[in-house]
Amino acid sequence: MNTIDYILPAHWAPILINADYTGCSDEDGAAFDEFSISEFGERGFDDITLANDDKPEFIKYHDAHNYGVLACDCLRYTFIR
């Protein structure tokens, strides 16, 4: 099992965990889609976990900043492939 950790926006949690885009803006949804395809390809990822002990932390240069996402509260997500 291969895992990789990313520091990503906390407000992406519904998209990442439940594929629920309803609470995000069109820009956030597009940024997530671009991030996901760039990092995982069309196949996507098999599963994701969120560390229970993590609390959101304001971070300027997180793993989604190259996709146009500004500084925001972020969490550490572990992706499983």
Cα distance between residue 33 and residue 43, in whole Å: 12
Average pLDDT over residues 67-80: 90
**Where do the domains of the chain lie?**
3-80
Q: Which alpha helices (H) appear in the chain, and where do they start and end?
A: 13-18, 26-40
Query: Whole-number mean pLDDT of the chain?
Result: 86
Q: Which two tokens stand for residue 69?
A: 């996402």
pTM score of the predicted model: 0.83
Cα distance between residue 46 and residue 58, in whole Å: 28
- Model confidence over 3-22: pLDDT tens digits? 888 999 998 988 888 888 98
Identity (one letter) of the amino acid at 48? I
Q: Which two tokens stand for residue 33?
A: 């889609």
